[in-house]
Structure 1
Amino acid sequence: MQIFIAGATGVIGRRLVERLTDVGHDVTGLVRDDDGAALVEARGGTARYGDVLEPESLTTAMAGAQAVVAAQTALPVKDKPTDEDWARNDRVRVEGTRNLLAAADESVQRFYFPSIVWIARLPDGSPFDEGADRHPDRATQSAADVEDLLTQAASERDFDVTILRLGFLYAPDAGHTHQMGEQLLAGDLPIVGGGPLGRRDAALSLLHADDAASAFVAAMDAEVTGLYHVVDDEPVTVADFFDAFATELDAPSPRRVPGWLARYFVGREQVNVLTKSFPTDADRFRRAVGWEPSFPTYREGLEQVVGTWATDGTIRESSTGYEWGGAGTAESLSAVMAGP
């Protein structure tokens, strides 16, 4: 297919460019500058300049596309994002998708959207599936809005929509994964828990970014439509994830901080994602396309993350263990609380 990707330089987008071209698709990536063009072209894609917030730039960029991936975000990277920061992300996600829909001509047959599973987490923290009601918060409302926008557009126009709700993403080149690793080595990353003393742990469903990309390729090959959850095999508590990460890095065991206290430093949205459980599974997606994750659990995924960092110079060995080198390249528009 001729595939157009908005957000082609992001953690998922750049993986999609490479994987889709590897299996024979003709991929065009939307970029805003020469650095973005170099990223897309190095992975086998064709770069076209434009901006999802500039509708006039999209008509030419999307010409001939048979499938569109709406993976654009503007996720804030501040320790405590403001409402203005979230409003910018809302605009890129929602208005950007509206502009993509308006620019899509009769050649477009399919739209794909990487959403997030925790917009449907249940108030009591129990397991849920694709049929659960959504409960978005300030950080994730825009993902819910895009789901609605695409679903409505598909009912009015002649194309299909596939929404993959992804688990909590991590990867060697993801900005928040870099932040976690650096802070763990410095002894500055606490386990944020619920309850007065922070002893109540949330169970999260995770997904390595490589597996997120492979899921989209599998969905395209199988030509499935509709809504699916895509996560790895084993939900994990924040405490176990951070402890395992620290062990891989030979870093100090992280201390605990209650969520009510952490809100003063990082904001409500970041605390919400770490203290409210969202255990789910990918059973429906697996039955539909036969997909399996390359990293079945966080254990294999964290081993790959740390191994990559040791190779590319992000971390280096010292007399007391690893220390942060920072030579690796992180995705700058990645945030833990609002998804891909």
Structure 2
Amino acid sequence: MRVFVTGATGVLGTRLVERLADRGHDVYGLVRDDEGADRVESRGGIPRRGDVLDRRSLERAVPNVEVLVHAATSIPTATRPSEADWERNDRVRVDGIRNLVGVAGEGVDRVLFPSVVWVARQPDGSPFDESAKRSPDRTTRSAAAVEDFLRERRSAFGFEAAILRCGFFYAPDSAHTRQFGRSVLAGRLPILGRGLLGREDARLSFLHAEDAAHAFAEAIETEVGGLYHVVDDRPTTFAEFLTELADELGAPPPRRLPAWLARPVLGGETTALLTEPMPTTNDRFRDATGWEPAYPTYRDGLRQVVERWAEDGTLRETPEGYRWNEGRTAATA
């Protein structure tokens, strides 16, 4: 197949370009500079210059393809994101999909979008599936808007839409995962919990970025449409995730901190992401495609993350244990 991927140099996009190219597909990756072009080419893709926020550039960049994947985001990585940070992400997601479909929507068979499962987290914290009513907040508003746009426009343009709501991404080159690792080693990242003393933990749904790319490749090849949740096999708490990361790094167990104390520092959005439940399953997607995660639990995935950091020099081994190499930039696993 011929596939066009926005966000082709990101955590998901880079892996998807490589996976599809390895399977023999013609993969075009949207890039903005020479560094991005080199990255796409090194993964077997064909770079195309443009910007999702510049419709005229997309008219030149998007070739005749069968599948569009809108994986471009600008998710904030600041400890306390500003409104401007979130607005930038909104534009990349929402204006980006409008420009992309406006330029190429009539000529493609399918459009795929990586949404997030916590757009449908339930106010009472109960498990939910694809049929659950959404409850978007500031962090998920744009994901919900893209979901709505694709549902509204698929009939008018004649394409099938596949919305894959993913769990909380982690990977060796993910900015948030790297922030977690650096802070855990430094003893600066606490376990956030609800309640007066911070002892109440919420179950979250995670997903290794390699498994996300695998899921999109399977969705493309099996030609599924509709809405699916793509997460690993077992929801876990932030406490378990962070404690396991500390164990893998040989760092002391993180201390606990009530979410209400962290909120003034982290902001409401980040605090809610880590402390409000979002337990769901991959059952529907697995049944539809046969996909299975290579990292079925956070333990499997975090082991790979730390091994990769040790291999690429992100971690420096000393007699006292691992130290974070501040001069090392992220390398895709």
Whether these two folds match at TM > 0.5 is yes
Confirm or deny: 8 A CA contact 1:11 1:331 kept in the other structure. no
CA RMSD of aligned residues (A): 1.2
Deviation per CA, 1:28-62, whole angstroms, max 9, x where unpaired?
A: 11111111111101101111111011100111211
Asked if the contact 1:30/1:49 (under 8 Å) is kept, the reply is: yes
Q: Distance in 2 between matches of 1:223 and 1:105?
A: 17
Structure 2 length-normalised TM: 0.98
The residue that corresponds to 1:338 in the other structure is none
- Tell me by how many angstroms 1:327 deviates: 5.5
Partner of 1:90: 90
Q: Which amino acid aligns with 1:199?
A: R
CA contact (8 A) 2:206 2:235 kept: yes
Task: Report the Cα offset of residue 325 of structure 1.
Answer: 1.4
Alignment of 1:1-340 (within 5 A): 1-104=1-104, 106-326=106-326, 328-330=328-330
Which residue pairs with 1:337 in the alignment? none
**Hey, what's the Cα distance between the residues in 2 that align with 1:230 and 1:164?**
6
**Partners of 1:60 and 1:25 in 2: how far apart?**
21
* 1:233 maps to amino acid: D
- Which amino acid in 1 is paired with 2:271? V
1:106 to partner: Cα distance: 3.8
Which amino acid letter does the alignment assign opposite residue 287 of structure 1?
Answer: D
SS in 2 for 1:64: coil
Shift of 1:75: 1.4
Report the secondary structure of 1:251's partner residue: coil
CA distance in 2, matches of 1:331, 1:127: 35
Tell me: CA distance 1:105–1:141, structure 2 relative to 1, closer, same or farther (3 Å). Answer: closer
Q: Distance in 1 between matches of 2:56 and 2:107?
A: 18
CA distance in 2, matches of 1:184, 1:326: 14
CA distance in structure 2 between the partners assigned to 1:197 and 1:101 by the alignment = 49
Helix, strand or coil at the partner of 1:24: coil
Q: Which amino acid aligns with 1:175?
A: A
Whole-angstrom distance in 2 between the partners of 1:229 and 1:326:
35
- Residue 102 of structure 1: SS of its match in structure 2? helix
Mapped contact 1:167–1:207 kept (Cα < 8 A): yes
- For the 8 Å contact 1:313–1:326, the answer to whether it is kept is no
Greater shift after overlay, 254-263 or 113-122? 254-263
Measure how far apart 1:326 and its partner are.
Answer: 4.0
Amino acid in the other structure paired with 1:17: V
Identity %: 58
CA displacement at 1:330 relative to structure 2? 2.9
Contact preservation (8 Å) 1:233, 1:297? yes
Q: Note the alpha carbon deviations across 1:231-280, whole angstroms, 9 max, x for none.
A: 11111011111111100000011011111111111111100111100000
Find the aligned partners of 2:115 and 2:171 in 1 and give their Cα distance: 17
Q: Residue type matched to 1:9 in 2?
A: T
Q: Alignment partner of 1:145: what SS?
A: helix
SS state of the match for residue 97, structure 2?
A: helix
Is the contact made by 2:9 and 2:31 (CA closer than 8 Å) also made in structure 1?
yes
1:89 counterpart SS class: helix
- Residue type matched to 1:180 in 2? F
Distance 1:257 1:284, change over 3 A: same
RCO greater where, 1 or 2, for CA within 8 Å and sep 6 or more?
1
Asked whether the equivalents of residues 172 and 331 of structure 2 are also in contact (C-alpha less than 8 Å), the reply is: no
Q: Which amino acid aligns with 2:118?
A: W
TM-score for both structures, normalised by structure 1 = 0.96
Contact 2:105 2:159 in 1 (8 A): no
Unaligned 5+ residue runs, structure 1? 333-340
Distance 2:327 2:13 in 1: 22
Contact 2:105/2:157, CA 8 A, preserved across alignment? no
SS at match of 2:207: strand
CA-to-aligned-CA distance 1:90-143 (integer Å, 9 cap, x gap): 111101110001001543111000000011011111110000000111011100
Amino acid at match of 2:95: E
Question: What amino acid sits opposite 1:140 in the alignment?
Answer: T
**Structure 2, gaps ≥5 residues long:** none
Displacement after TM superposition at 1:195 (Å):
1.2
CA contact 2:315–2:323 (8 Å) conserved in 1: yes
What CA distance in whole angstroms lies between the structure 1 residues aligned with 2:15 and 2:130? 25
- Tell me the distance in 2 between the aligned counterparts of 1:330 and 1:77: 14
For the residue of structure 1 that corresponds to 2:107, the secondary structure is: coil
Q: Is the 8 A contact 2:49 2:61 kept in 1?
A: yes
